[in-house]
Amino acid sequence: MKTITRILLVVSLAVFAACEGPVGPPGPPGLDGEDGLNGENGYLFEIEGTFSEANDYALFFPFPDDFKMYNTDIVMVYILWDQVESTTGELLDVWRPLPQTVVFQDGGVIQYNFDYTVGDVNIFIQETVGELLPAETDNQVFRIAVLPADFVATKSIDVNNLDAVMKTFSLNEKSVKKISIEK
């Protein structure tokens, strides 16, 4: 009896496994993906603010409600360090990636640094000089780049160079979202 049951089981499995029905209709087309370099987007925000004792020497930037950052994205922050005049007389911005450290002759140190989550960026000053000058705190301009980490990891992008990042992700001055931070 066991042998007959096993034979029937094997035969029925073979019959059902070999069955194939007609091919069904094709499914509906999917939604279009976001435009960008091979479907990858980089975003650039510019913020301006003043570090003070009142804000604990930190500029807090929550991402706008209409912006979605993913857990796999990375954030780079650049500080407008200087402006130099070109040979044609045009002012050119000099951007440096954070962290940036200034060491004074007396041994004092100021460091501009940042941290981030998927919802915000916090830019702050760490210092050992005691009293900061307005040139170090007032009206500081930063650019915050949000980049897809998978794309950055597979391409040879110098993320320390803001111009290279902007070129790679086809960003220009018009695509920079400028936001002023409350004092």
> Does pLDDT of 119 surpass 60?
yes
Domain spans in the chain, listed from the N-terminal domain onward: 38-180
> Does pLDDT of 40 surpass 80?
no
Spatial CA neighbour of 71 closest among 157, 178, 144, 146: 146
DSSP label at 40? B
- Specify the pLDDT at position 30: 74
> Does pLDDT of 13 surpass 70?
no
* Per-residue pLDDT band at 128 (split at 50, 70, 90): confident
Q: What is the mean pLDDT of the chain?
A: 85
* Per-residue pLDDT band at 15 (split at 50, 70, 90): low
> Does pLDDT of 17 surpass 70?
no
Task: Return the bridge partners of 82, or none.
Answer: 94
Q: Cα separation of 8 and 137, whole Å?
A: 84
**CA-CA-CA-CA dihedral for 59, 62, 67, 73, to nearest 10:** 70
Q: Cα separation of 78 and 114, whole Å?
A: 10
Q: Give the residue carrying structure tokens 């170090």.
A: 136
CA distances from 119 to 54, 64, 71, 73, 128 (A): 23, 9, 10, 12, 30
> Does pLDDT of 142 surpass 80?
yes
> Does pLDDT of 109 surpass 60?
yes
Query: What average pLDDT does the segment 151-165 reach?
Result: 83
* pLDDT tens by residue, 53-107: 999 999 999 999 888 888 889 999 999 999 998 889 899 999 999 999 999 888 8
Amino acid 69 reads M
